[in-house]
Structure 1
Amino acid sequence: MSNPSPPVADTAPQAPSHPRALEPITLVVTILLSVLGAVIGLVLITTLGIAPNTSVIGALIAMLIGRISFAALAKMRDPHRQNLVQSAISGSTFAAANSLVTPIAVPFLLGRPGLVWPMLGGAVIGLAVDSWVLYRVFDSRLLPASAAWPAGIAAAETIKAGDEGGRKAKLLGLSAVVGFVGSLFKLPMSAAGVAFLGNIWALLMFGVGLLVAQYAPSLLNVDLGANYVPHGVMIGAGLVALVQAVLMMRDRRPKTTGTGAGGGAEPGSAGAATPDRFTPEVRTVDARRLRRGLLEGLVLFLIGAMLIALMGGIVSDMSGIGLAGWILLAGAAALVHQLIVGLAAMHSGWFPAFAVTLIFLILGLVLGIPMVPLALLVGYAASTGPAFADVGFDFKAGWLLRKDAVPWHPYETAGRRQQYIAQLVGFAVAIVVVMIAWKPFFSDGRVPPVAQVYVDTIKAGLTDTHALTMMALWAVPGALVQLIGGSSRQMGVLLATGLLVATPQAGWLVLAALAVRVAYSRWKARQRGTEPAPGETQAEADNDLALVGAGLVAGSSLNDVSQIYKAV
């Protein structure tokens, strides 16, 4: 009697195991660097008014730790562990500086210190929902991983250069030195860096907005800010962008039985197969999950607004209709704020969080919202957006580092989940640091400058309808530019971002870098004997230009962090 045939081995590729954020050595390094990031963010935002991107610093420190051949420290040589650490430190920095300290400074400066703790509770809710929504919708049609997310590219290229060395490390290092030195001379080198990385049309409008903001006051003798021109453009562009986002939530793809790569389906949609290898055309979040994620975010923001109303004691100060209107406005403002800030950051690396919050503040003044409820609304809106953008940057870095995994899709989703956990650790550390430090900082007069602007605006109020009229007028061209550019370019939002940011010389650097990028693309095309089709210059850009852009952003970030010596 013959022996039975051996079972056929399963030849399907097994997903490699992604490092876990809660591994002992990774967790210890994450907590220590998150404390450093939170302190840096807290000190710089309350003294110089800036919140630096510390992800590059975290990556560099993790690399140095990995070079220590002692016990388990050598595990930090793994690029994916370094990615977890840099995600946490950047998360703690932006959480402490933008999402927590700035909101709680508003009631403090209004002379209502008793509202600081309720506002901190609301800011924690805003921060938590902010990051949750991004985790749910990252790599969707609205916020694709293939978009620029410039700071994410800088972090990923830094980690890869440290891991691979050679020519790539030299080019990135040289570019970082140029970015650092240029920043020492007060040049916005990060603006030039993102011009090598982002959408050309979006960045063109960003550069135009920067130049108009820089030269309109002297050439046209017009104060754009005093006339609320940038705010109006952002309102118009933002409204159209929201409509475009809603349209993206509709799943117009036909049901298919093909694979995700070849059949046109997205992972998670009906009939989509999980690809074994990375495919840029396949997104990990389909329209249904995008729709569900944004709706979940809106519901959670509304619940957070109700809790703030209870904790802040404004329930007894407002009528039933007024309270319901306040909750709806606060929840909607939080969601809209995070989306506008996230879209701007995705394309340009800059997020106009202060200016968008100011728009809602002015809207609240127009509606006649009392001072204390308005202060809480402003703080709640301000707690969203920056962390949303920062998590997007970090997910982009991880996405770039995980592209070579086989099978790719399960490794990507597992890695993104671990990054989110690492971010939550960084957020928790930031919350503890702010709880301990806010009172001595505020008592010493160290408050975020933007919070003082919010309070001054609330106290001044609106003496006439000039602001409302001008914003309504300038909303029209903002809406038209956004409509013409479409959702993939976000030209209106980026034009408004440039007008609002108004950083001197940044416009020239953006346009110069774009010119170099286009010229280099065409030169490469001629070398191959082909001309690039219109609108395809970004696809023709060489990897060297991406490295240069990443280096400039990294160098600028290093300079921002080095400013800590001025503040201590």
Structure 2
Amino acid sequence: MNDSNTQTAAEATSAPVEAHPRAFEPVTLVITILMSVLGALIGIVLITSLGVSPNTAVIGALVAMLIGRIPVGMLARMRSQHRQNLVQSAISGSTFAAANSLLTPIAVPFALGRTDLVWPMLGGAVIGLAVDSWVLYRVFDSKLLPATGSWPAGIAAAETIKAGDTGGRKAAVLGVGALVGLVGALFKFPTSAAGVGFLGNIWALAMFGIGLAAGQYAPDFGFDLGAERVPHGLMVGAGLVALIQALLLMRTRKGRGDGPASAHDTVSASDDDERTVKAPQLRRGLLEGMGLFVCGAIVVAIAGGVAGRLSVPALVGWVALAGIAAIVHQLIVGLAAMHSGWFPAFAVTLIFLIIGLVLHIPTVPLALMVGYTASTGPAFADLGYDFKAGWLLRRDAVPWQPFEIEGRRQQYLAQLVGFGVALVVVAVAWKSFFSDGRVPPVSEVYVATIKGGLEPGTMTTMLLWAIPGALIQFLGGPSRQMGVLLATGLLVATPDAGWMVLGALAIRQAYTMWRRRGLTDAKARKECDEQSENDLSLVGAGLVAGSSLNDVGQLTKAL
């Protein structure tokens, strides 16, 4: 252990533990509930009208900052960065919970014409959402999902909060970046993709950018990759290897705790020592999640009448597949979100839908399995963003680890408040929305696919393309997730986003080389590279924040 680590350890044993603000403090709780209502309404309006669910974390942070500037006694407490972090965690959680984890799943049986299954599906979606968030809470800052990972939206939220508190050069750079991101988004440019290019792992983002560009331009050369299910096949192969890599990371190597870093691991040994979640905790978290997802599938089977439609062997197979689909879905979505800031929830759910069609699962059980799978993933990813923001804001605490662990727990509690509000809003609003024909477009695609069945040879094509997907994922290693990110880019295929990501990576590399010109000392070059990354992280965070503001601004168009 070096001197700085020794000093930190000494401080940790001698310094009193700083108390983290509580999620259930009266003022914080009231603001959290009000902002969660706003977030849930934004989520269900946009998912049903435009088919998108924006990240409202920056909005929550800005509102909390403004409230803290009101010269009224108790409201001044909201000047605390950590209370602002609690509010932004809750509003973003309520947005994704309402739109992706609750409304989208219950829209599947509704679009199928089975309104009697909406409430049972809502119960299953609540279980999926609860387990989803619980698993992320247990495994965040592990070797699989490290706090040192990119989590771009989390960086944007944290930098927004810090800039509002400190001002100065950082606030100016972030503000300019946000303005560029907002203006670019107004003109339909995916500026958030450029922001992500400044924030994440270069190898992972390069594959993401290549996938985006290939997905956009392949039709111009007569190749409709989506229709041929090529991206889905790549994701199947990459996802299977990613799952195996996750299982390997759960091992505890004798005498080494989490084991030595692999050749592909970009996290240093000192970072590994500082992780708050070790291999045994990661293993328990994922195994508990698997068990809880299977229990949730049993509840859905009973409440949705699946148990009466299938034979005992078929029912056991359905429950097992639903449980596996739920945890695999959340892991793939979480890994993609950590590296790229985008998560292919729709596409990965569609993969399990296709598997269900291949297995000839009857229509209603398949629809319920799809809804249950769709309830996982987005909240998992969003909580990762929020924990990343909190982790960045708490890095200077002394002693750090107790404060970080307590802060993470309070964020989780704040998110649970947001989830509870989202559930109430969805339970009250779904009938009026669906009656007006405002059903999430992705749910209608699921139902159309279930009714239409598969084109001949679909599964064969997917299995063939699974081979290169698996190979790329294996070669990139678990820290880069190259196969998953390539498939994510192909599945998302947002116009011009590929150019944004690849252009940002080129600027990033050029800026780093320009800053280090003339430096020959290895230590000086390293310090220069770190400063370059810090500068560009501010720019990237601003672009993501500005794009998020534009997404929320789409509410006026939807209304």
Query: What's the TM-score, normalizing by structure 1?
Result: 0.93
Q: Which residue of 2 aligns with 1:193?
A: 195
Q: Which residue of 2 aligns with 1:484?
A: 475
Deviations 1:425-482 (A, max 9, x none): 0000000000000000000000100000000000001252x11011001001100100
Checking the alignment, whether the CA contact within 8 Å between 2:100 and 2:375 is kept in structure 1 is yes
- CA gap 1:18/1:311 in 2 versus in 1, 3 angstroms: same
Checking the alignment, whether the CA contact within 8 Å between 1:532 and 1:540 is kept in structure 2 is no
Q: Give, as a single letter, the amino acid of the residue that structure 2 aligns with 1:390.
A: D
Q: Which residue of 1 aligns with 2:264?
A: none
Deviations 1:122-154 (A, max 9, x none): 000000000000000000000000000000000
Give 1:314 shift: 1.3
Checking the alignment, whether the CA contact within 8 Å between 1:93 and 1:430 is kept in structure 2 is yes
Deviations 1:153-175 (A, max 9, x none): 00000000000011111110110
Give 1:71 shift: 2.5
In 1, Cα distance between the equivalents of 2:176 and 2:55? Answer: 20
Checking the alignment, whether the CA contact within 8 Å between 1:34 and 1:88 is kept in structure 2 is yes
Alignment of 1:219-368 (within 5 A): 219=221, 221-252=222-253, 254=255, 281-368=273-360
Give 1:251 shift: 1.0
In 2, Cα distance between the equivalents of 1:562 and 1:311? Answer: 39
Give 1:484 shift: 0.6
Give 1:542 shift: 3.2
SS of the equivalent of 1:487 reads coil
In 2, Cα distance between the equivalents of 1:361 and 1:535? Answer: 47
Checking the alignment, whether the CA contact within 8 Å between 2:143 and 2:272 is kept in structure 1 is no
Q: Give, as a single letter, the amino acid of the residue that structure 2 aligns with 1:336.
A: V
SS of the equivalent of 1:139 reads coil
Aligned residue pairs: how many? Answer: 540
Q: Which residue of 2 aligns with 1:405?
A: 397
1:387 is aligned to 2:379: yes
SS of the equivalent of 1:68 reads coil
Of the candidates 27, 30, 33, which is equivalent to residue 35 of structure 2?
Answer: 33
Give 1:521 shift: 1.1
State the 4+ residue runs in structure 1 displaced beyond 2 angstroms. Answer: 278-281, 527-542
SS of the equivalent of 1:52 reads coil
Query: What's the TM-score, normalizing by structure 2?
Result: 0.94
Checking the alignment, whether the CA contact within 8 Å between 1:147 and 1:346 is kept in structure 2 is yes
Give 1:342 shift: 0.2
Checking the alignment, whether the CA contact within 8 Å between 2:46 and 2:53 is kept in structure 1 is yes
Deviates most, 521-530 or 475-484: 521-530
1:73 is aligned to 2:75: yes
Give 1:528 shift: 3.2
Q: Which residue of 2 aligns with 1:549?
A: 540
Q: Give, as a single letter, the amino acid of the residue that structure 1 aligns with 2:350.
A: L
Q: Give, as a single letter, the amino acid of the residue that structure 2 aligns with 1:367.
A: L
In 2, Cα distance between the equivalents of 1:379 and 1:129? Answer: 15
Deviations 1:22-60 (A, max 9, x none): 000000000000000000000000000010000000000
Q: Which residue of 2 aligns with 1:494?
A: 485
Q: Give, as a single letter, the amino acid of the residue that structure 2 aligns with 1:554.
A: A
Give 1:525 shift: 1.8
Of the candidates 518, 521, 535, which is equivalent to residue 512 of structure 2?
Answer: 521
Percent identity for Structure 1 against Structure 2: 71
1:564 is aligned to 2:555: yes
In 2, Cα distance between the equivalents of 1:498 and 1:537? Answer: 31
> Cα RMSD (Å) of the superposition?
2.0
In 1, Cα distance between the equivalents of 2:314 and 2:402? Answer: 48
Deviations 1:476-495 (A, max 9, x none): 11001001100010000000
Checking the alignment, whether the CA contact within 8 Å between 1:344 and 1:351 is kept in structure 2 is yes
Checking the alignment, whether the CA contact within 8 Å between 2:13 and 2:399 is kept in structure 1 is no
Alignment of 1:18-57 (within 5 A): 18-57=20-59
5+ long unaligned stretches in structure 1? 1-9, 266-277
In 2, Cα distance between the equivalents of 1:454 and 1:534? Answer: 51
Q: Give, as a single letter, the amino acid of the residue that structure 2 aligns with 1:542.
A: E
Checking the alignment, whether the CA contact within 8 Å between 2:93 and 2:419 is kept in structure 1 is yes
Deviates most, 310-319 or 280-289: 280-289
In 1, Cα distance between the equivalents of 2:507 and 2:475? Answer: 26
Give 1:551 shift: 0.1
SS of the equivalent of 2:107 reads helix
- CA gap 1:75/1:253 in 2 versus in 1, 3 angstroms: farther
